[in-house]
Structure 1
Amino acid sequence: MMTVTDWDVSQLRDKVERACKRIAPLWPLKSFVAVNPYMGLTHQSFWEAHATLERIGGTGLCMPRTYYWQQLKNGRITHKDLRAALREWGCVRDVSSLEQEITQNRPGAQMPFALFTDILGHAEGQDWSGFVVERISQYCAAYFDEGQALWPFPWSDQSLYQGWIHFMRYDKSPGIWGVRGLREAIGAWPDSAEGAIVQAVRDLDVPWQAVDDYLYAALWSVGGWAGWTRYRLWQAELRGDDDGALRDLLAIRLSWDALLYKLQPRETGKRQWREWMVKVSEPPIPPETAIPVDVIFQTALEIGYQRQLPGLLNGPSRLPNTQGNPVAQAVFCIDVRSEIFRRALETVAPGMQTLGFAGFFGIPMAYLRFGDLEPQAHLPVLFTPAYCVSEGFDHQQNPTVIEKMRIRRHLTVHLAKTWKMFKTSASSTFAFVEAVGMLWAPKLIGDSLGWTRPVPHPDRVGIPGTMHRRLQPVLSHRERSIWSGHHNCTGIPESDRPAIAASVLRNMGLITDFARVVLLVGHRSSTVNNPQATALDCGACGGQSGEASARVAAALLNDAPTRRALKQQGIDIPDETYFLAGVHDTVTDEVQLFHLDAVPLSHTGDVAQVVQWLTDAGQMARQERAILVDRGDRSRSVVHAKIRQRAQDWAEVRPEWALARNAAFVAAPRSRTWQRDLAGRVFLHDYDWRRDPSFHRLELIMTAPMIVAHWINMQYYGSMVDPRRLGSGNKVLHNVVGGSIGVFEGNGGDLRVGLAWQSLHDGIEWVHEPLRLNVLIEAPQDAIEMVMAHHETVRILVENGWIHLFQIADDGYLHRWGWDKQWHRDEITGS
């Protein structure tokens, strides 16, 4: 066994970097986008990662056995699925024996990798790990605060670790728990994070072969704050910079272990720690040859859904005739919630064509709303904004009126923040309740009964409704005089617009056969009193509403000079084609169209017809979605009223199901899925490989929207299979941390990540299913392989089994990418 004297600091530094790379970033509440919580483990196969997570945290990538038993009883998992799973794993077992075993508790479940605080807590009957996590969490909340606290943190100008050293000299909590001599020990402790990590590993005498697991387990124990500091590192790396907060956090967690070990007067805990270190230093026991029953049932669950895949597709005999220009076109985000609305719209308007494209519509921008001080990025977090587009009024508006509106908005937002700070501050909470408690009753009653809207939309605070209609995206720096601010928000230069417009149209597959009216429909979610509300908005827009992206895209494609330049690139948009922006509210299934007063007189009749179709489609979509939302009266009027009430109910914990039940991603012509009921479970991206001779669009789809869909899929997966670490608990108990950093469940503990229980479970049964994303692409096999060969991230996800990849052949049959890196005519789906 290698001892602590056999390695040097550089070797340990490599292990620290490796542990840090295993952590997935946690985006703040203002852009709470979905991220694969297993991102740092994708270099392992899916089932190798399962074993790693079981070893480190005790919970892998499978559900509790009671879940699988319930799926077997209700027919979701069948004997046919189990037999197919056994064949996939090469197992020879009897299905009846599987049924019997799944009803039993797991024998000899592996103990998670213990830190010293875990061992000490077991020895003394006190939750030392909970205490340490609480102290670290409260310190991090104060250090990273973004304006929620009334008093500034005194050591925020120092590194996270050095600030902690100062903080610990004043923290009295360890003394209450009986820790003596901590202040003196802190005074003698290394003053650098790297020195502390080295000292801790040596003092605890961690065997070299166990260091990797120990470091990862330490970060895993404060996984929420590890995710936040990883996000800071992610942002720094985009700037070509570095951020040491994640390493500092690791140093703090290890220091707690080492200092408690040093100061612990009783030998029981120390002795058990040394015994544990001997155990983890022993050679690993060879894994059993038998595949665990949990793995077989999880495989069978996924096979059960994959059997449905052929039914989602039209074969050659059912492909619709799409010749001729459609009466109208509508481009929606690929979000699974759009699938229901698209299908409804195609039903009520048979002559309308719908398309699916990432909801930022290919505009790589940040957007500065009127009166705001900071622009927001409106594009996938994988990208960096190339432009900043502002919002302002047209030149016909009185400049004096504009300035008054700007001042009013600034003042209103400032007062709202000040009022909120006053109400939530520790010094005024009780006085506020005593002083205005009864006077606030009408407001609470109105909010509860839906008579008033509890929280106005922050983007529109202080702007009268008549002024909303005049707000326009400002594409050119020549119009900068209509907004004020310190940002270099110069818009999209006129010279760049043709190339961007051409890219937008080509990537969405719309370069010929334009209709008279083309809708560009983003999406947003209208909910109140929900700290994680941005998780319900557009992931392709960085957790923002898709409204701004749709409006900018429409303005760009209606721009006359841009259209003239597009003709030189072979894209001839007819003069009679008009682009109109809208936004789909995924709670109410209502679509709002913008700038209707600017529609040409020649198109008013067309737009009026489109509005009617959208209204009818909304009614149909609400009826379908009501099955999941409400089990009561489903008449159209009642459903609409109930859904609107849910959107404005400040106490509603399930205003919508967002992307729950997502299971597949399809990149193919819409004709392949036309009139097929995909049940709101499929990301739909339009793609026709015959119009993509260079396969550039295919490459873009597989490296951006497919990756984002995988992230979303894994966030839901992790929140369900490991809700304690990768979910965010009970939404009712959420408290915002640091202004917009994240949430606590209650008033402490670790920063929570992932989704709340109410986003996955309806109170009676699970709504979501933990399935890896099934990706179906209609393109030549060698083209798909070329993308994988050129992009390691994509290849790893496919070859390590984090997604299931299928190729749709011209005849509609499916071919699966196998473990042997070959295509196989799929047997599970019956193709």
Structure 2
Amino acid sequence: MIGDLIDHAAHFLPAQGPLQTFIHHNTLHAFESMAFTDAVVAASRLYGTEPFLPERVFHDHVRAGRINAADIDAVVAAEIPHGAEPIIPGGPNRLIFHSERLRYWIDIPAGHRLRWRLAETDALTEVTPLAADRRRGESTDLTSLWTHLTAVDTQAPTPAVGARPRESLLAETGVDADHLVHPVLIRVTAAFLDQGVAHWSMPGRAGGLLAAFREVYGGVAGPPDRFLRGLSTCLRAQHGWGSERTISWALAELRVARRDWGTVIADTLISLRGWAGMVRHLQERPDSAPVAAPPARLADYLAVQLTLDVFAARHVSRLPRRPVSTPDSSLALAYEAFILAQIMIVDLDVLADPRHAAAWLSQVNACDELTRRRLLHLAYEHRHREGFLGALAAHQRVAQPAPDAEWQAVFCLDEREESMRRHLEEHDPAVETFGAAGFFGVAMRYQGHADVRSRPLCPVVVTPTKTVVEKVVEPGLGSRRRRWRGRVAGARTLGRGTVVTVGLGLWHAAALVGHCLFPRATHRSIDALPRPPKTRLVLEPEFTVEDMAEIVSGLLRTIGLRCSPLVVLVGHGSSSMNNPHESAHDCGATGGGRGGPNARAFAAMANHPGVRARLRDMDVVIPDTTWFVGAYHNTADDTMTYFDTDLAPDGALDRARASLATACASSAHERCRRFESASLTLPTHRATAHVHRHSVDISQPRPEYGHATNAVCVVGERSRTRGLFLDRRAFLVSYEPGNRGLLDGLLRAVGPVCAGINLEYYFSSVDPVGYGCGTKLPHNITGLIGVMDGHSSDLRTGLPWQMVEIHEPVRLLLVVRADPDHLLEIMIGDPNLSLLAGNGWIQVVAWNPDADQMHLFADGAFTPYVPADIELPTVDSSGEVYGGRRDHLGFAHVRPSDAVAVTGVIR
């Protein structure tokens, strides 16, 4: 029974693994069976977090025009039940009330602040400035209005006390027992999960957390904490008890009714959910541990926590009773109703009737802060959806066909590559670009020549069965340097050891000073020392010719690629200094890894003579003159690395290298506008140096912004978005409409991956502390598995503030070039898509390629959608749109250029 209760509670714990395998996912995965707006509210009550942005932030958007009156009216009409009857005689009905209420930001102070305002200002005698123009010239008896409203009994319900004994003790004494328990539990769990940072391994670790806890704290001397007096005796008496028996004993000692066991177990684990979630993750995925996972079991962790809870409860219960007072919300409600009665031009005399005053107060209470934030969020998303779909439709009216492709580049669908592709096409119109999942269909474990062990490079829902190894075929200087370093590290005599220690200490001290004062120059000098060896990937016999042909065929068919003489596959990743969340910037399609090896493996497969022969039998023809090259784009410093170039025909890569170098520099320039450290007048030729410094500066908390600003995903032909400035907001997935079978598999992979990225950014930006991990500045890496604030805190999950501070928290808008009936069949047939779309975690639009008509998914069906008729600005280059701007930008049509980048010079 207890095991079942623990399994149920575990669904509400974070699923994030160790830092090196950070993978974006829906933070509230346990709530996907609920409608999105209901789920975020339910989760906020469970976790004590925020469901939406603060109301003040939304009103900033109202003032900036990012939410307008039409958006508010459209949302209110859809979300608020209709009612023509006025709330009070002569007053507004419910629809008008909500629409009017959402237009105004009203500061309603609470507690002593409100009492001070009422007593010390003219708030009860002077008309509020928000209604001054409307009430000008009127004779209004505000004192009587206040008297009428405060005469109505609106006593707020008594806040419920949770089932955990800690809740009742807190209400009675004002002392939080968790403040006693958590520091001890954090120390114990951190020592148990440690991956080699600690010099001494925790005693009894092999027997599990509960056994190790008993061995450490069950000694004769006992623990030093005052509230744990008697714990050592108790633990010795429990010798041989399993975790479930210990949990049952603790719940009985805490006097928890059996009917409340499930709730108490869940609330207990959630109270320190970062650590509990990591224990659960390593229990289920021990292979994800950076070094070696200990025998982690969530039941052991719970047994330890409840045992500590027992002793904390005994200690706190002996303290004097000091009840915690709760603020009276009825006065704040009356004040809000008082202000709104002035704003909405109601007959104030009508409110002299207690029935009407009660009806007015009831309506004000019904449109509470949470309701307003929900509606304003929907209005915010409505403006975003209207703007994007309107821009997409307007772009079709002015877009021109692309010229015949002289070479092609396949990028990851990542929204950071949107600017890269756009700049590449602007500078070299003869290139054709595509977007695909960044593992390029090659699901594998990969071990580089310098790696200690292999790691999976594929989506997390895929379990790779094949391992690809990078083999050295010609050693470089780096290999000799590693051998020399190994001999130095093996110095065991006193004299040699002293010399080595002092020498290496001075070397690293000098390097540290260099990284602090001259980060870019130091990194370049150190990076230039080793010459990398020449290597090849060993694909066979792990992959047979049949396997490789299926992989190559699948990608080419899905994205509709008809081969030109050169095809460059561009994987991506990110490298930065002193950044615990570095892997969060890497490729989600490779499971938080870097996509270079996948691109390299695909190119090798596509160049394989046997594979090409097999492809011809499958009616997939790759011309003999076509050559595939794998490449890697570092999104932190915007550099390119090319693989196996010595195998390519002479001169085949010259133009591509030059064009991609130009695009990298332009993309870096566009990114720099978001960095406060970069001047808005920074010339393009200096942008690459600036982003490179960002990536190698150990004091830099923002090496890049990652997926920040992601908001939409377009699945369809590039011709529909080519030349459209999307401000790095769009995942771009290439798909040639017509092959329904391929679309099914494509959406099953793309939908959850993009939704996971989008939702993690949503929650980490809406509540940077509750769902994100707060600011990076106090973070300390703990046991190589995660970060804490300072020396002791919950294990922080989610994204740091420095990754999400510029993000717009809106749900992903997925636009698919497909017949709505067929798209609906796909969504119904896939459980993940069914939940995500059906419950509103993503918004879906079917863009029918036959009728060129859009359909919006809502309430289980697609309905025709007419995009807003907007005028799309036309510019000659992307720089005209973003130049001199740091804020979020609108969309624009970039006029095709005849210029061709063949020299790599920025123009």
**TM-score (structure 1 length as normaliser):** 0.83
| Contact map agreement 2:10 2:277 (CA 8 A) in 1 | no
Report the AA paired with residue 455 of structure 2. Q
Q: What is aligned with 1:721?
A: 766
Compare 654-663 and 312-321 and name the one that shifted more: 312-321
Which residue of 2 is the match for residue 226 of structure 1?
A: 276
Distance 1:640 1:54, change over 3 A: closer
CA distance in 2, matches of 1:290, 1:141: 45
Cα distance change, pair 41–64 in 1 and its aligned pair in 2 (3 A): same
Asked if structure 1 preserves the Cα contact closer than 8 Å seen for 2:511 and 2:522, the reply is no
Residue 730 of structure 2 corresponds to residue 682 of structure 1: yes
Corresponding residue for residue 815 of structure 1: 855
Q: Is 1:525 the counterpart of 2:574 in the alignment? A: yes
Q: Deviations over 1:701-737 (max 9, x none)?
A: 2222221111111111121222223212221222111
| Structure 1 portions without partners, runs of 5+ | 1-9, 273-286, 420-427, 478-490, 762-766
Q: Match for residue 731 of structure 1?
A: 776
Counterpart amino acid of residue 755 in structure 1: L
Q: In structure 1, what is the equivalent of residue 313 of structure 2?
A: 261
* Alpha-carbon distance change, 188 to 415 in structure 1, aligned in 2, over 3 angstroms: farther
Instruction: State the alpha-carbon separation in 2 of the partners of residues 409 and 418 from structure 1.
Output: 15
For residue 362 of structure 1, report the CA deviation from its aligned partner: 0.6
Segment of structure 1 superposing worse, 579-588 or 203-212: 203-212
Q: Secondary structure at the match of 2:180?
A: helix
Q: Retained in 2: the 8 A contact 1:162–1:192?
A: no
CA contact (8 A) 1:409 1:461 kept: no
Matched residues in 2 for 1:418 and 1:818: separation?
Answer: 69
Residue in 2 aligned with 1:335? 414
1:492 aligns with 2:543: yes
Alpha-carbon shift at residue 57 of structure 1 (Å): 2.4
Question: What's the % identity of the aligned pairs?
Answer: 27
From 299, 308, 328, the counterpart of 2:378: 299
- Indicate how the Cα distance of structure 1 residues 452 and 729 shifts in structure 2: closer, same or farther if over 3 A, else same: same
- 1:712 is aligned, of 739, 745, 757, to 757
**3-state secondary structure, aligned to 1:371:** coil
| Residue in 1 that maps onto 2:267 | 217
- Give the distance between the partners of 2:680 and 2:219, measured in 1 at CA: 57
**Alpha-carbon contact 2:28-2:43 (below 8 Å) kept:** no
**Residue 113 of structure 1, CA deviation:** 4.7
1:135-193 per-position Cα deviation (integer Å, ceiling 9, x unaligned): 22221111111111111222221122332333332598964344432222334458222
- What are the within-5 Å matches in structure 2 for residues 214-363 of structure 1? 214-235=264-285, 245-262=297-314, 264-266=316-318, 290=367, 292-314=371-393, 317-318=397-398, 320-321=400-401, 325-363=404-442
Q: Displacement of 1:312 after TM fit?
A: 4.4
The counterpart of 2:181, out of the listed 132, 150, 155, is: 132
- 2-structure distance, mates of 1:340, 1:417: 48
User: Would the alpha carbon gap of residues 451 and 153 (structure 1) be closer, same or farther in structure 2, given more than 3 Å must change?
Assistant: same
The Cα of 1:535 is off from its aligned counterpart by 0.7
Give, in angstroms, the shift of residue 405 of structure 1.
6.5
Residue 30, structure 1, aligned to residue 110, structure 2: no
Partner of 1:486: none
In 1: Cα distance, 2:608 partner to 2:560 partner: 20
1:448 to 514, 517, 529: 517
Q: Deviations over 1:495-529 (max 9, x none)?
A: 4322222223223332xx21100010011213111
Alpha-carbon deviation of 1:215? 2.8
**Aligned AA (2:699):** A
Contact residue 181 and residue 263 of structure 1 kept, 8 A:
no
- Computed over aligned residues only, the root mean square deviation of the Cα atoms, in angstroms, reads 3.6
The C-alpha deviation readout for 1:544-599, integer Å capped at 9, x for no partner, is: 22111111111111111111111101111000000011111212323222232322
Cross-structure match for 2:741: 696
Q: CA deviation at 1:652?
A: 0.8
Q: After TM superposition, list the pairs within 5 Å mapping 1:167-246 onto structure 2.
A: 167-170=216-219, 175-189=224-238, 191-207=241-257, 210-235=260-285, 245-246=297-298
Identify the residue that residue 68 of structure 1 maps to in structure 2: 58
Deviates more, 1:368-377 or 1:86-95: 86-95
Contact (CA 8 Å) 1:85, 1:300: kept in 2 or not? yes
Give the aligned partner of residue 192 of structure 2.
143
SS, match of residue 743 in structure 1: strand
Match of 1:584, SS?
strand
Identify the match of residue 636 of structure 2 among 587, 610, 615. Answer: 587
| Distance in structure 1 (CA, Å) of the matches to 2:161 and 2:845 | 36
- Specify the SS of the correspondent of 2:673: helix
- Residue of structure 1 aligned with 2:655, choices 609, 614, 623: 609
Contact kept? 2:250, 2:307, Cα under 8 Å: yes
Partner of 2:889: none
- Count of residue correspondences: 756
1:516 to 565, 572, 584: 565
Q: Which residue of 1 aligns with 2:41?
A: 51
Q: Distance in 1 between matches of 2:25 and 2:868?
A: 29
Computing the radius of gyration from Cα coordinates, the structure with the larger value is 2
**Which residue matches 1:803?**
842
In the alignment, is the contact (CA less than 8 A) between 2:14 and 2:273 conserved in 1?
A: no
- Give the 3 Å change call, closer, same or farther, for CA 329–162 of structure 1 in structure 2: same
- Say if 2:636 and 2:695, in contact at 8 Å, map to a contact too: yes
Does structure 2 conserve the Cα–Cα contact (< 8 Å) formed by 1:57 and 1:112?
A: no
Partners of 2:242 and 2:321 in 1: CA distance = 28
Q: Partner of 1:572: helix, strand, or coil?
A: coil
**Contact (CA 8 Å) 1:37, 1:714: kept in 2 or not?**
yes
1:299-341 C-alpha deviation (Å, 9 max, x unpaired): 112112111221442566455435x851111000011100010
Alpha-carbon distance, 1:447 to partner: 3.8
Per the TM alignment, residue 343 of structure 1 is displaced from its structure 2 partner at its CA by 0.7
Q: CA deviation at 1:74?
A: 2.5
Q: Distance in 1 between matches of 2:295 and 2:857?
A: 39
Q: 1:536 to 1:787 in 2, by over 3 A?
A: same
Whole-Å separation in 1 of the counterparts to 2:570 and 2:6: 45
Unaligned runs of 5+ in 2: 82-94, 112-155, 325-363, 493-497, 871-907
Q: TM-score, normalised by structure 2?
A: 0.77
Note the C-alpha offset of 1:808: 1.2
